[in-house]
Structure 1
Amino acid sequence: MTGHTASELGEIVVEDQGYGLGEPDGMLVLRYPTGRAVPDFPEYRDDLVHQLFHSPNGALSVRRGGATHFAAADQCIWVRKGVVAEVSGFDVQTVIRVCIRRAPDELTAHSAAVLDVDAELGGLLEKVSRPGLSSAAGLEARQQILSRLAANADRRGTLTHATAPKGPAREVARAILHDPADNTDLATWADRMHVSTKTLQRSFQGSFGASFSDWRTRTRLHASLALLPHASVTETAHRVGYGSPSAYIAAFSKEFGSSPKRFLANRGG
């Protein structure tokens, strides 16, 4: 596995910056620096505030029930307060988490969304996550951050929510989302779940409408879309579990109908 998750270790070093705390327009920014644990934010996190998750040096996944979406380093994940969602990193990476109580209507119209982060917005998020900024400057930056996100929120649809799968497939899927490169085979996973291989395979088919192998392949390839704009094809291939770039390119081409480089070019990446 790439690394233990923070939930598994039970601890992670966090830096926090508060701006106007106690006020309706206040903001708390938590920075989870690169360390020895993969940052993850389980479903049972605090849902009393709106939250924004951004990793400037990695990709993030967000799971809503049985539906999973991915955010690249030039994107962020918006989660409205009261919404159940699970966010996790792929690697030992930095994550900036912004907690606010009040947000523009354009944002709160979405229960959860993946939003674009341009260079200016990325700089603002970096700025408020570091010590030394006055409360007044932090609150001004907060307004700029929310305004920029609200301006582009209507270009993105609300992230879908699918019925959460039950049974052993759910736990295996969660582990793979934390680490798409995990090459543990079906029989080993079944042994860990204390079920037979057939039972686990049926659980995947019933929960996701696909075999374990097909589901893992699709998950890896869709996760790679969040990595490709910021990493080479070779690095992306290894980070999502392919032993060689050629194997990754073949699987990618079969899934998306073009090579990774051509796909990016067509998308303007």
Structure 2
Amino acid sequence: MKNVPLADVDHVDRAVLPIGTDYPPGHLLDWHEHRRAQFLYGATGVMVVDTADGTWTVPPERAVLIPAATRHRVRMLGVSTRSLYIEPAVVPWWPRTCTVVDVPPLLRELLHAAVGFEADYSLSGREGSVADLLLHEIAARAPLPFHVAIPASAGLAALCRDYLAAPDAAVTNAQWAARTAMSERAFTRLFRGETGESPAVWRARARLLAAVPLLRGAPVGEVSGRLGYATPAAFTAAFTRTFGLPPSRFARPPSRPAARPGRP
């Protein structure tokens, strides 16, 4: 199924409903939730998923597991998705919070095949076997660290969401504390209690997450400068230490030059 609204097929008696959707650049799926759990795979582009508890940045050819009945929004940056909408009862092992995972070649090919199914695909033949295998492959995935927590306190949450929208390396704990009318010590203690990280560590991770979509349109050197790193080497080291892969792995592949016409 391609570009089919979930509401049109949610009633179909299938534990797994595969749907592929193409989105224009910058498209925002505003706050909503699904009755089913969702496996959201971005075959192209970058997705940014927000919930009340955190923000997950999904690099190209990765996916995010979204629990059933979780209110969320998704910003699509040049994305074509392959989604599975899954009855919660058949995936009791599904994570309780959103989780970014890798998508190896077998799982990727299964997803591409599944979005060609009709909503009422046969359960006894090849299509039913593909749906079953998809769940086995998803269950084997390990989480990737492409997220930051959002504090429960409204004031702290507003600071974090503003920073995610416009990361600034010059921001200090003292400035954040002043915005919340707290002492720096009290602010830092509260922030750590609600996120598990110090404000400085949180901001450093948020800046690196902001690099993921930027790398799709700019070279590593330019992205490092925009995010306040002294050198591209310092940025590359921090990115690799945090995510396990260098930023060059997330850059858009260079377009091939057009072939020159042959001489007559």
Which residue in 2 is equivalent to 1:216? 203
Q: Tell me: CA distance 1:86–1:113, structure 2 relative to 1, closer, same or farther (3 Å).
A: same
Structure 1 contact 223–240 (Cα < 8 Å) conserved: no
1:113 and 2:99 correspond: yes
Q: Cα distance, 1:78 vs. partner? A: 1.4
Which residue in 2 is equivalent to 1:25? 14
Separation in 2 of the partners of 1:196 and 1:53?
A: 39
Q: Tell me: CA distance 1:216–1:29, structure 2 relative to 1, closer, same or farther (3 Å).
A: same
Q: Cα distance, 1:73 vs. partner? A: 1.9
Q: Percent identity?
A: 13
Structure 2 contact 41–83 (Cα < 8 Å) conserved: yes
Deviations along 1:145-190, one digit per CA (max 9) or x if unpaired, are 552342342442699996843133313423544x4x6559759xx9
Structure 1 contact 55–95 (Cα < 8 Å) conserved: yes
3-state SS of 1:150 partner: helix
Structure 2 contact 48–58 (Cα < 8 Å) conserved: yes
What root-mean-square deviation, in Å, do the aligned CA atoms of Structure 1 and Structure 2 show? 5.0
Residue in structure 1 matching 2:227, options 238, 242, 247: 242
Q: Tell me: CA distance 1:173–1:121, structure 2 relative to 1, closer, same or farther (3 Å).
A: same
Question: What letter matches 2:21 in structure 1?
Answer: R
In terms of fraction of residues, the more helix-rich structure is 1
How many pairs were matched up?
Answer: 234
Q: Tell me: CA distance 1:171–1:144, structure 2 relative to 1, closer, same or farther (3 Å).
A: farther
Deviations along 1:39-59, one digit per CA (max 9) or x if unpaired, are 3453xx224211121222223
Separation in 2 of the partners of 1:122 and 1:40?
A: 23
Q: TM-score, normalised by structure 2?
A: 0.59
Question: What letter matches 1:98 in structure 2?
Answer: L
Q: Tell me: CA distance 1:121–1:236, structure 2 relative to 1, closer, same or farther (3 Å).
A: farther
Question: What letter matches 2:41 in structure 1?
Answer: H
Q: Tell me: CA distance 1:55–1:103, structure 2 relative to 1, closer, same or farther (3 Å).
A: farther
1:34 and 2:34 correspond: no
3-state SS of 1:16 partner: coil
Question: What letter matches 1:39 in structure 2?
Answer: L
Question: What letter matches 2:86 in structure 1?
Answer: I
Structure 1 contact 59–70 (Cα < 8 Å) conserved: yes
Which residue in 1 is equivalent to 2:259? none
1:51 and 2:33 correspond: no
Q: Cα distance, 1:236 vs. partner? A: 8.6
Separation in 2 of the partners of 1:260 and 1:227?
A: 17
Deviations along 1:115-146, one digit per CA (max 9) or x if unpaired, are 3323443344345557xx54455876575255
Between 1:70-79 and 1:156-165, the stretch displaced more is 156-165
Q: Tell me: CA distance 1:241–1:120, structure 2 relative to 1, closer, same or farther (3 Å).
A: farther
Structure 1 contact 39–92 (Cα < 8 Å) conserved: no
Larger Rg: 2
Residue in structure 1 matching 2:108, options 113, 119, 122: 122
Structure 1: unaligned runs, 5 residues or longer: 1-13
